[in-house]
Amino acid sequence: MWTQQQLVQPVPPLKLFHSFQPSNHAKIQSLSKLNSTQNLKTPLTLEELPPNALRRKKDAEWRGGFSLGVDLGMARTGIALSKGFTFRPLTVLKLRGQKLEVRIMNIAEEEEADEFIIGLPKSSDGEETIQSNIVRSVAGRLAIRAAERGWRVYLHDEYGTTNAAIDRMINMGVNRSQQKKQDAYAAVMLLERYFSTSGQKTELVVPKNLELQGKLRTGPPRDDDYFSDED
């Protein structure tokens, strides 16, 4: 969670992936091997891996994984979950670095989520800030871990979600003991915005590693307990 006071001058976003350029050695590979790796050489796009919110908009009968909302902050990270069109705060993590990333991955596995919606800090005029780059860095590392399992990571504008979370908690009459979950409620507001806009202006975070991109294309293993034999 980033407050308005923390916003500073915008800086260019980090480049999360690069185009694959075949070397001279690659050019003399056999034609069959080139064909088998052709898809891996094409960078992934949002159209190829649309977020769950967009999939639901396009196909009302679509059934898929759940979404984990992540509100990153300097000291605390709020986590929320969306199952279908229901949203609930899960927890607030006071971790950083690898411990935070591992815990987020474990929560996703426990809750059967297959995508992460991470809040991207922006100023009131929609510009990115230094805090945006910090979040992009964390999102990039998380995307590498997630891709190993075929899970996707997206960035979505989080501006105003903290104030919206405070208003929501007041309207709900949340007691003092639950106020420490403010960051988790901010993650709820992020997920609600993400689904209300059907995933528009959502940014896919793609690892540079081509093998990981291949795993993203394949997707997570099919859950036979979730899908019937007729699906």
**Tens digit of each residue's pLDDT (9 = 90 or more) over 91-140:** 999 999 999 999 999 999 999 999 999 999 999 999 999 999 999 999 99
Burial class (CB in 10 A: 0-12, 13-18, 19+), 49: middle
- H or E stretch including 57? helix 52-58
Q: Which DSSP string do the residues of 122-161 spell out, in sequence order?
A: B-TTS-B-HHHHHHHHHHHHHHHHHHTTT-EEEEEE-TTH
43 contacts: CB under 8 Å, gap ≥ 6? 17, 19, 20, 206, 213
Cα dihedral across residues 117, 121, 126, 130: positive or negative = negative
Neighbours of 129 (CB within 10 A): 19
pTM beyond 0.85: the answer is: no
Number of H helices, E strands in the chain: 8, 6
Give the integer Cα–Cα distance in Å for 68 and 59. Answer: 21
Class of CATH domain 49-218: alpha beta
Mean pLDDT of 58-78: 89
Over residues 13-56, the pLDDT tens digits come to 444 444 333 343 333 343 334 334 445 567 788 889 999 999 88
